[in-house]
Amino acid sequence: MPHTPSSSNAHRPTRNRLPATLWLPGPDQPYAAPAAGQVLPDWAIDRIRTEIIPRPDNRPSPLLRVRVEQTGSGTDTEVRTVVSGSPGEDDADQAVPGVPLLLAEIHPDTFTPPACGTPAPLSQPPETAQDAWPGFFHRAHRLLPPEGLLLVATRQRRDDGELTDPLGEVIASARTAGFTYLQHIAVIHAHAVGNRLVPDSGTDLPPGLAHSDLLILSPHPYV
């Protein structure tokens, strides 16, 4: 697969190191950063469809996008589903059950920093959106075909100088649901100019957040 490094060591990841890749926009891509309210830039979506699972005729792969956005407090979230196909493809080729790529875009507004204090009782409803992640990953595992891949896109959140990184919770929830963690791609919000990275001017992203995180996970049978 294109996302698998060629190094022989990459096929034997250790506990402390997993394959990682940097994605940079091409010089013909005018906007390196995501649009307002988005997790990934458009050029990264195009690259997912053409490079993660290549097709013999070089057509972009069908992609089911699930966008998770915050609409209120706690677990009051909105899920938007978009099926991306190629122009002229048959409807059967874009049918949701056969889509090999499922992309879950988790906007940083849907997670909150861990609260301090005594843990809530088990009978109490979840207080944060990430408490509902295990259920989402179990549903995604049932939806994907065995040869499919789940991609999870998110980014860090910075509030008043405090950085919240959701990757640990995301990966743990995915593994609990039966997914195998294959790859981490850092999608850079800047163009490479010589030996420098030049970010877009006038973006709405918080200062200091220079990339989005894209995780690639594979379903495998339950034991």
Residue 124 structure tokens? 């109490």
The whole-number pLDDT of residue 126 equals 40
Mean pLDDT of the 23-27 span:
93
Q: Residue 167: pLDDT above 90?
A: no
91: in domain: yes
Q: Residue 108: pLDDT above 90?
A: no
Distance from C-alpha of 41 to C-alpha of 63, rounded to nearest angstrom: 15
191: in domain: yes
Mean pLDDT of the 169-189 span:
91
Residue 106 structure tokens? 């988790």
71: in domain: yes
pLDDT digits (tens, 9 = 90+) for 128-138: 445 566 778 88
pLDDT digits (tens, 9 = 90+) for 72-103: 444 444 555 555 554 444 443 444 455 688 99
30: in domain: no
The whole-number pLDDT of residue 98 equals 59
Range of the structural domain that residue 145 is part of: 36-112+126-219
Distance from C-alpha of 110 to C-alpha of 11, rounded to nearest angstrom: 33
Q: Are 101 and 149 in contact (CB under 8 A)?
A: yes
Residue 202 pLDDT level (bands cut at 50, 70, 90): low
21: in domain: no
The whole-number pLDDT of residue 47 equals 94
- Work out whether the CA dihedral 54, 10, 155, 181 comes out positive or negative: positive
97: in domain: yes
118: in domain: no
Q: Residue 147: pLDDT above 90?
A: no
Locate tokens 């709405």: which residue?
204
175: in domain: yes
How many structural domains does the chain have? 1
